[in-house]
């Protein structure tokens, strides 16, 4: 057994002083809207990142994880953060951002264990960042609220790690819970928790096709949105009225399609919140379906394997709607399923998927028989 597969005490020779956690998230609707100043509707998933910590008085930061290559341990000195292109950058990002904000970050030992799958579009990185920021808030008694925790986590990922992501994931990891959807205005970071109806459950199925966030495709989409906003004469696509269809259609391709996705997706989030409040699951499911089509055809962030998963989920009884969730280019789908049926639907979808050689799907949420 490698050192990091052991508990905190076995690794560091003393007990942990505190434990902090943060969940992964699944986005219900509102995709690629966050870096356009728009709306999103994520919810927390049961999988989480857990960090055990204890302060040190010599300025050394030692971090062990059980999640990378069977276990790993790395270290650096507080105040000497430097990007290495490794998982440790997320830890360094948080301590660097806190220091930039005037916090005297001391040394500490930390052990990270996460059940959030990597590369499935369920925000494993945001859950790590938020868990660590929470741990340091507790350790140093920092007077910061949960929105500030999300801002710190976003700055760490965006500015230090260098991933050009929006703010949805960090807000979800910091503020979402499993029984409500977090209706989020990513421009102001205003949020509202909307209860999920008791008659449905969520099914999340990973396609096994790994996505890469910092990858060129995400950056390209973001840049295309910025160009489209500029051509339309607005600060961000959030500011485009859905009635501006003609003007959107007059943009050069593919900017017309990119803008149409973002503008219609924002409208769909508002409609989804209204449907949730009204308990209108048929309408909500139709919005999931429309969101997937828009991501597939206009934003072009789906892949055939994910489209097949979505179609096969939709073909099952008791499914209200299904869509690709997260950044795309692989990753997972989320389906809205009648309560009590998710495990059955999950099995059927995974079995159908496995009929194509080389494909293997994993049910990540909704797999337990209820
Ligand atoms: C990734 C990013 C988010 C968001 C989604 C797409 O998860 O981290 O900021 O842009 O993709 O909705």
**Strand runs (DSSP E) across the chain, as ranges?**
18-27, 39-40, 42-56, 60-65, 72-77, 107-114, 180-185, 190-195, 200-206, 319-325, 332-338, 362-365
Give the residue whose CA is nearest to atom 1 of ligand 1.
Answer: 327
Ligand 1: which atom is nearest the Cα of residue 31?
A: 12
Is any ligand 1 atom within 6 A of the Cβ of residue 206?
A: no
How large a percentage of the chain has pLDDT more than 70?
A: 96
Is 169 annotated as catalytic?
yes
- Check residue 1 and give its pLDDT: 45
pLDDT the model gives residue 5: 56
Residue recorded with tokens 């080389």:
358
Q: Of ligand 1's atoms, which has the minimum distance to the CA of residue 35?
A: 10
Instruction: Say what the pLDDT of residue 367 is.
Output: 83
- pLDDT number for residue 282: 98
Q: What is the pLDDT of residues 224-273, one digit of tens each?
A: 999 999 999 999 999 998 788 999 999 999 999 999 999 999 999 999 99
Higher pLDDT, 344 or 241: 344
Residue 6, pLDDT score: 73
Give residue-wise pLDDT tens across range 11-59.
999 999 999 999 999 999 999 999 999 999 999 999 999 999 999 999 9
Ligand 1 neighbour 32 (Cβ under 6 A): yes
**Residue 142 DSSP SS3:** coil
Other C-beta atoms lying within 10 Å of the C-beta of residue 101: 13
Best residue for ligand 1 mutational test, from 32, 40, 299 (most atoms within 8 Å of Cβ): 32
Contact 258, 299 (CB under 8 A): yes
Percent of the chain surpassing pLDDT 90: 91
Distance separating alpha carbons of residues 92 and 81, to the nearest angstrom: 6
| Paired tokens of 342 | 């998710």
Q: What pLDDT score does 119 carry?
A: 80
Q: What is the pLDDT of residues 64-109, one digit of tens each?
A: 998 776 678 999 999 999 999 999 999 999 999 999 999 999 999 9
- Report whether residue 328 contacts ligand 1, using a CB cutoff of 6 Å: no
Q: What angle do helix axes 342-354 and 304-314 make, rounded to 10 degrees? A: 140
Taking the whole predicted model, whether its pTM rises above 0.85 is answered as yes
Q: State whether the beta carbon of 326 lies less than 6 angstroms from ligand 1.
A: yes
> Ligand 1: does its nearest atom lie under 6 Å from the Cβ of 129?
no
If phi > 0 it is left, if psi is from -120 to 50 it is alpha, else beta; for residue 24 that is beta
Q: How far apart are CA 345 and CA 203, in angstroms?
A: 8
Domain boundaries, the chain: 8-194, 198-365
Query: What is the four-CA torsion angle of 39, 227, 236, 94, rounded to 10 degrees?
Result: 70
Residue identifier of the C-alpha nearest atom 9 of ligand 1? 166
Whether residue 2 has pLDDT greater than 70:
no
Whether CATH 1.20.140.10 fits 198-365: no
CA 62 from chain centre, in angstroms, equals 26
Asked if 8-194 and 198-365 have one fold, the answer is: no
Mean pLDDT of 119-136: 95
Region 8-194: CATH code:
3.30.230.10
Task: Convert the pLDDT of each residue in 299-334 to its tens digit.
Answer: 999 999 999 999 999 999 999 999 999 999 999 999
Average pLDDT, the chain: 95
Pairing of strands 72-77, 60-65: antiparallel
Query: Which is the catalytic residue, given 169, 206, 298, 308?
Result: 169
- Position with higher pLDDT, 335 vs 212: 335
């Amino acid at each position: 057994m490698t050192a990091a597969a052991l508990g905190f005490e076995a690794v560091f020779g003393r007990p942990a002083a505190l434990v902090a956690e943060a969940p992964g998230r699944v986005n219900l609707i509102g995709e690629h809207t966050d870096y356009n100043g728009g709306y999103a509707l994520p919810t927390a998933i049961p999988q989480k990142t857990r960090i055990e910590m204890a302060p040190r008085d010599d300025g050394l930061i030692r971090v062990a994880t059980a999640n990378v290559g069977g276990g790993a341990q790395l270290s650096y000195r507080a105040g000497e953060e430097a990007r290495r292109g490794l998982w440790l950058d997320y830890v360094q990002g948080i301590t660097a951002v806190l220091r930039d904000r005037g916090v005297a970050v001391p040394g500490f030992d930390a052990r990270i264990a996460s059940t959030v799958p990597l590369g499935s579009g369920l925000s494993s990185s945001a859950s790590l960042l938020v868990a660590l920021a929470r741990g340091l808030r507790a350790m140093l008694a920092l007077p910061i609220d949960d929105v500030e925790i999300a801002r710190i986590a976003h700055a760490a990922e965006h500015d230090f790690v260098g991933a050009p992501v929006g703010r949805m994931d960090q807000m979800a990891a910091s503020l979402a819970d499993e029984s409500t959807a977090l209706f989020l205005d990513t421009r102001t970071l205003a949020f509202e928790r909307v209860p999920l109806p008791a008659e449905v459950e969520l099914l999340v199925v990973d396609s096994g096709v790994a996505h890469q966030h910092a990858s060129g495709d995400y950056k390209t989409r973001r840049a295309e949105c910025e160009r489209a906003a500029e051509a339309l004469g607005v600060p961000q696509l959030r500011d485009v009225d859905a009635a501006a269809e003609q003007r959107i259609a007059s943009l050069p391709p593919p900017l017309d399609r990119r803008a149409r996705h973002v503008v219609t997706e924002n409208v769909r989030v508002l409609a989804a919140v209204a449907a949730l409040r009204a308990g209108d699951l048929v309408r909500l499911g139709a919005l999931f379906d429309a969101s997937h089509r828009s991501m597939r055809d206009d934003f072009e962030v789906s892949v055939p394997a994910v489209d097949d998963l979505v179609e096969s989920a939709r073909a099952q009884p008791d499914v209200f709607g299904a869509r690709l969730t997260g950044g795309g280019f692989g990753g997972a789908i989320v389906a809205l399923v009648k309560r009590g049926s998710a495990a059955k639907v999950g099995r059927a979808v995974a079995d159908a998927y496995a009929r194509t050689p080389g494909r293997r799907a994993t049910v990540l949420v909704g797999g337990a028989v209820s």
